Structure 1
């Protein structure tokens, strides 16, 4: 292939990448197709590795690793200091911490031992040359090296490494083509990553369903939908007293220790956490059949009691403060959507049913029960849930009619 012909193919590949960025081709499809097209354009790729930062509460970065022999692999790096990913022994760390934008190392026996174990591994797989690049998405004087670094969260940019099994390694023409392609590929991936980051952040702060609605364009203030839902009010017990006796960090650690398994249980049963209220949270269960929503909510309450007991036991074993919780379930129609100021909105539920659920939560102390359930939630399940026990009829503050209340024995 002549240099002119190959240059034309690289130009065509750049145009293709731009088009994929415009239409939002997913990462995996874009990267796999890119590698295959790069080979067709004359680049002798054996392996490609591309990694970027993730704006996600539990995922610090993600990487896509393509091999000519086995295809694409997706890997996520958790924000967990206890997990060791081998970053300290990676040539990519050397690149990020330097002022350089490239790192190359030929992989031949006469150059061993290599400074980085991954290079020995790559050579054992047939690689003859390794070429790494970093592309910063930060303008001005900032570089990837100047930003605070966390091995679980790549700096603002794209890290790429390429290997070849060509007998003589990469040619200078190969390296020039990779230099031409990386900024274009980085722009397409950045465009896709921005959407992914927005989705992940909204999901973390609003919940899965609310974030999906916002991302799909439900953003006008006052735009709401009337839905039937089972509302869960969850509260940690004695929080005011605990917050006065513990320091701020201990309070935050305690909240997170209890919230983590509770939220996991709620979402695992199809619930949607809409709001954290300091020492409590508001969640909803929505199904076409309200009885099914009620069943999911009741299962959730039972599961929360179990994970609360496990968390108490774990914290007590470490000499940490423990606490209990109260829960209330109420079913009714709510307005679900955008409420708030002109430029500061909340996507949540409002209406009399939400107010009554809050009143029901306050009844836990009055009836001395950790769980209080409305009759509308409980009655469809009395036959198959013998643990549901009536507490009798009660008046709720601010609510005209009397309500029969139930608990889980």
Structure 2
């Protein structure tokens, strides 16, 4: 039965107001979770009896393939991230979303309270258990107008997939779905604003590091702009990499680098450090003294953790008959200049200064003193009373460093 004309007029007016409101949320860069919650309740008030809404967009992240924002009238909001993989998980392959993506259709609509539905998917049973009476899904591409085209499900295009469920008797009316279709352009635009911001955050964090990403996105992009930080500098590289690169195929070298770097980055970041760059088989990171409490102690504890982590990696790789390696690590503390350095159109957000140069020289001492971890007195001395495993290696004069340096290692 069609809705009365007065109800249709009320819904149309409410959706027009909602369109303007959605555009404003996009302009203000409101978090998707925030505006989605209010948007869905506004739709309910406008006469569209939503039970559940799910919106999925592509992610630009090295580990995450797609992100879903889900709203439920009773349970509120949640954000779900789906890992990248070589194959699709089974529950996705058996979903209406997969069917929608891989077939030349723009929409999928199914009554859930009929005896013999045209198509059946496992999620329909879950929705029926929640009292749902109808499911509707549609896809909208951002960069093309042919929304009915089929897509490669493992190479998600820029766009949005939205699914709606209702528990209203008889499901959605045609007028209600027409109202939702009219709202889709503004909904897509607002979601795209949020997705683009998320994309920028993910990409810059992946290539610059979390702290540098935050600074760049907040406008700190002028060439030469910098600030002075007091930090513990972490200079790390893999042992015997030149020999490995000469004897292993390129794919094996990349796999080895990714395996070891993944753990090294995890150790640094979970202890509050910031990874700034990779240099072949090396990695530069800092622990900001103003951002990490007792940064010297934390950096030394992270170094000890890295040593244990490498032991575990090597045991696993040896069991799989894969090549293994070790590492060398230098820790030093001092003031660094942290900011943008480079050409007019290609910049690097990094640290420079005498303390960085000294750390590089200390790293070069690892082979001379036959130690994996070498720590300067600037880091070790304040910890000498509490960490009895810090052992002095003596004083050394290093090329390009004015003062003699007492070096330490972890026993």
TM interval, short-chain normalised: over 0.9
Corresponding residue of 1:193: 195
Q: Is 1:106 aligned to 2:99, yes or no?
A: no
SS of alignment partner, residue 115 of structure 2: helix
Distance 1:191 1:112 in 2: 37
Distance 1:145 1:389, change over 3 A: farther
Distance 1:293 1:83 in 2: 42
Corresponding residue of 1:166: 168
Corresponding residue of 1:6: 11
SS of alignment partner, residue 139 of structure 1: coil
For residues 349-393 of structure 1, give each alpha carbon's deviation from its aligned partner in whole angstroms, at most 9, with x where no partner exists: 011111111111010011111111111111000001111111111
Distance 2:402 2:88 in 1: 56
Q: Offset at 1:84?
A: 2.8
Distance 2:111 2:394 in 1: 80
Distance 1:94 1:316, change over 3 A: same
Instruction: After TM superposition, list the pairs within 5 Å mapping 1:3-402 onto structure 2.
Output: 3-81=8-86, 84=89, 86-112=91-117, 114-139=119-144, 145=149, 147-150=151-154, 154-288=156-290, 292-402=294-404
Distance 2:225 2:174 in 1: 58
Distance 1:277 1:307 in 2: 21
SS of alignment partner, residue 233 of structure 2: strand
Distance 1:99 1:109 in 2: 25
Distance 2:244 2:152 in 1: 35
Q: Offset at 1:290?
A: 9.2
Q: Offset at 1:81?
A: 4.7
Distance 2:214 2:9 in 1: 47
Distance 1:301 1:96, change over 3 A: same
Distance 1:209 1:289 in 2: 11
SS of alignment partner, residue 285 of structure 1: strand
Q: Offset at 1:246?
A: 0.3
Distance 2:396 2:309 in 1: 30
| 119-128 vs 384-393, which moves further | 119-128
Q: Is the Cα contact below 8 Å between 1:231 and 1:329 reproduced in 2?
A: yes
**Structure 1 gap segments, 5+ residues each:** none
Distance 2:251 2:220 in 1: 37
Distance 1:169 1:140, change over 3 A: closer
SS of alignment partner, residue 365 of structure 2: helix
Q: Offset at 1:47?
A: 1.2
**Structure 2 gap segments, 5+ residues each:** 1-5
Q: Offset at 1:148?
A: 3.9
Q: TM-score, normalised by structure 2?
A: 0.95
Q: Offset at 1:283?
A: 0.6
Distance 1:291 1:11 in 2: 51
SS of alignment partner, residue 110 of structure 1: coil
Q: Offset at 1:176?
A: 0.3
**Runs of 4+ off more than 6 Å:** none
SS of alignment partner, residue 330 of structure 2: strand
